[in-house]
């Protein structure tokens, strides 16, 4: 198989430092919601590279925008001179993001650099030394973004001085047995009154769905309650929508399900439709703190900015928020129906086209990471690509292109269910998955 040879060339040439592999996937081409291997085998892409390929592969709107920007080539950056496409992107993001007062946009390359910038500038601008975030949170893979994250995959990485992590509200595994989240809100309030004084806290980082922590959807009202609590102490809310933002959950911004408006919004992954671009949208008094405070050479690169503009426009013209809600509901529905005869599926949850499937030992409800590892491997053998997330590595995560069709949702759900059942039946050996320790 020629796919194997591409994979072995990768092994010989590309650093393991940048790999998180689950099976020997080697992609020759992409087409819509499919990835195509060298031998022509088509795989239904239910991950979209962790949500980055938001319009699928080879969308004409994205191609045209990138081609157009390359033809004009208005410099490479906004660092020391502006360009029309980057300005239009910033203006569009401001228009699409509700918020009060004078606001600014910072453009970066990744979710990591965007969150790192927020973690640096908010304490500086507010002159408050503390920050809060959730355990299980993944805010990035650079030093500064890891320092405000709480994911177990980053255990051992130094945290920001003054960072306080609190549990994320997980209705399936509730804090103090309270699935409503109120016990957790009370606990956070207690912290703000005691060991983590609220008036010393600059900001609270939150994912409106905790994705890498296990695709956890918070109970209704929790984040709104938390935002109210933060407002009482002047704590800025930072909503990290890098994975679940921009139409994926059935509304343009995921926080719109939660009845609050964050002070600072962080976007990435799907914003560029596969090209590297991220954005922070926040109050001018924070975002204009000092020139050159958080800079890299290629900010506002017109090709990447054009890609982002094309994604935002296409979300509108193809009504992708609505599509994600309808197709996502169907995808979840098919999985839920099938899961009734698969006791190893402990929970199915999500919003729109962000779906999590938690795999457990049915007798104890304990997380089953081994089953997750074998399921994603089996799914790749059967013709679907998706990975797993979670502090216990036991939650299958589906973040397909927003352009997924109803038929593909049905096909994807069937592949997933078969993969779980095959993995339970022992069709994947320990040796098969041994090279893919995952995370």
Active site residues: 138
Least distance (Å) between residue 231 CB and ligand PLP: 23
> Using CB under 6 A, which of 202, 242, 281, 315 touches ligand PLP?
242
Closest to ligand PLP by CB, 139 vs 374, is 139
> Using CB under 6 A, which of 77, 115, 126, 392 touches ligand PLP?
115
Least distance (Å) between residue 282 CB and ligand PLP: 16
Residue 111 interacts with ligand PLP (CB under 6 A): yes or no: yes
Least distance (Å) between residue 249 CB and ligand PLP: 13
Whole-number Å distance between alpha carbons of 41 and 166: 44
Are 421 and 342 in contact, with CB atoms under 8 Å apart? yes
Binding residues for ligand PLP, total number by CB under 6 A = 17
Residue 268 interacts with ligand PLP (CB under 6 A): yes or no: yes
**Binding window for ligand PLP (CB under 6 A); candidates: 32-40, 137-145, 365-373, 427-435:** 137-145
> Using CB under 6 A, which of 139, 248, 349, 351 touches ligand PLP?
139
**Tokens 């922070």 correspond to what residue?**
280
Least distance (Å) between residue 168 CB and ligand PLP: 12
Residue 122 interacts with ligand PLP (CB under 6 A): yes or no: no
> Using CB under 6 A, which of 59, 120, 128, 243 touches ligand PLP?
243
Residue in the shown chain whose Cβ atom is closest to ligand PLP = 111
Least distance (Å) between residue 1 CB and ligand PLP: 30
Least distance (Å) between residue 217 CB and ligand PLP: 14
Closest to ligand PLP by CB, 243 vs 374, is 243
> Using CB under 6 A, which of 211, 227, 339, 395 touches ligand PLP?
211
Instruction: Please write down the HEC assignment for all residues of the chain.
Output: CHHHHHHHHHHHHCCHHHCCCCCCCCEEEEEECEEEECCCCEEEECCHHHHCCCCCECCHHHHHHHHHHHHHCCCCCCCCCCCHHHHHHHHHHHHHCCCCCCEEEEEECCHHHHHHHHHHHHHHHHCCCEEEEECCCCCCCCHHHHCCCCCHHHCCCCCCCCEEEECCCCCCCCHHHCCCCHHHHHHHHHHHHCCCCHHHEEEEEECCCECCCCCECCCCCHHHHHHHHHHHCCCEEEEECCCCCCCCCCCCCHHHHCCCCCCEEEECHHHHECECCEEEEEEHHHHCCCCCCCCCCCCCCHHHHHHHHHHHHHHHHCCHHHHHHHHHHHHHHHHHHHHCCCCCEEEEEEECCEEEEEEECCCCCCECHHHHHHHHHHHHHHCEECEEECCCCCEEEECCCCCCCHHHHHHHHHHHHHHHHHHHCCCCCHHHHCCCCCC
Residue 218 interacts with ligand PLP (CB under 6 A): yes or no: no
Closest to ligand PLP by CB, 145 vs 403, is 145
> Using CB under 6 A, which of 77, 97, 110, 117 touches ligand PLP?
110
Closest to ligand PLP by CB, 281 vs 371, is 281
**Binding window for ligand PLP (CB under 6 A); candidates: 68-76, 89-97, 181-189, 236-244:** 236-244
Closest to ligand PLP by CB, 207 vs 368, is 207
Nearest to 34 by CA among 48, 50, 15: 48
- Rounded to 5°, the CA angle 299-302-307 comes to 105
Closest to ligand PLP by CB, 74 vs 308, is 308
Closest to ligand PLP by CB, 213 vs 328, is 213
Least distance (Å) between residue 55 CB and ligand PLP: 17
Instruction: For the segment 48-107, give every residue that binds ligand PLP (CB under 6 A).
Output: 50
Residue 408 interacts with ligand PLP (CB under 6 A): yes or no: no
- β-strands 163-166, 130-134: how paired? parallel
Nearest to 145 by CA among 124, 122, 164, 117: 117
Closest to ligand PLP by CB, 117 vs 375, is 117
- Residue ranges that bind ligand PLP, judged by CB under 6 A: 50, 110-112, 115, 138-141, 207, 211-212, 240, 242-243, 268-269
């Amino acid at each position: 198989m020629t796919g194997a040879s591409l994979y072995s060339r990768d092994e010989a040439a590309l650093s393991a430092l940048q790999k998180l592999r689950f099976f020997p996937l080697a992609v020759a081409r992409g087409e819509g919601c499919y990835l195509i291997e060298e031998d022509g085998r088509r795989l239904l892409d239910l991950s979209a590279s962790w949500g980055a390929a938001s319009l699928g592969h080879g969308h004409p709107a994205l191609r045209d925008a990138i081609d157009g920007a390359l033809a004009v080539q208005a410099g490479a950056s906004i660092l020391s001179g502006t360009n029309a496409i980057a300005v239009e992107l910033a203006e569009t993001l401001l228009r699409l993001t509700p918020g009060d007062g004078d606001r600014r946009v910072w453009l970066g390359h990744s979710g990591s650099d965007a969150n790192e910038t927020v973690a640096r500038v908010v304490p500086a601008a507010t002159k408050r030394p503390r920050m809060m975030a959730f355990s299980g949170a993944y805010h990035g893979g650079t030093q500064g973004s890891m320092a405000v994250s709480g994911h177990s995959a980053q255990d051992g990485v130094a945290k920001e001085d003054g960072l306080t992590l609190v549990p994320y509200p997980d209705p399936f595994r509730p804090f103090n047995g309270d699935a409503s989240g109120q016990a957790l809100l009370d606990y956070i309030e207690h912290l703000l009154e005691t060991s983590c004084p609220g008036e010393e806290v600059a900001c609270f980082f939150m994912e409106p769905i905790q994705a890498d922590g296990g695709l956890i959807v918070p109970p209704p009202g929790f984040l709104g309650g938390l935002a109210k609590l933060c407002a009482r102490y002047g704590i800025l809310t930072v909503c990290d929508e890098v994975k679940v933002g921009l139409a994926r959950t059935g509304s343009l911004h995921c926080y719109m399900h939660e009845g609050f408006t964050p002070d600072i919004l962080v976007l990435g992954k799907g914003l560029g439709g596969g090209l590297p671009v991220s954005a922070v949208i926040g109050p001018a008094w924070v975002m204009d703190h000092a020139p050159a405070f958080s800079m890299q050479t290629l900010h506002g690169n017109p090709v990447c900015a054009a890609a982002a503009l094309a994604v935002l426009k296409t979300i509108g013209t193809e009504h992708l928020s609505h599509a994600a809600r309808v197709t996502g509901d169907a995808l979840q529905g098919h999985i839920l129906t099938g899961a009734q005869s698969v006791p190893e599926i402990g929970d199915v949850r999500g919003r729109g086209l962000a779906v999590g499937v938690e795999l457990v030992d049915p007798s104890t409800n304990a997380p089953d990471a081994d089953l997750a590892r074998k399921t994603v491997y089996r799914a790749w053998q059967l013709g679907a690509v998706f990975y797993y997330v979670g502090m216990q590595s036991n939650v299958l995560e589906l973040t397909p292109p927003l352009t997924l069709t109803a038929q593909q949702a049905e096909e994807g759900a069937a592949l997933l269910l078969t993969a779980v059942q095959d993995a339970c039946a022992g069709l994947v050996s320990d040796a098969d998955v041994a090279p893919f320790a995952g995370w």
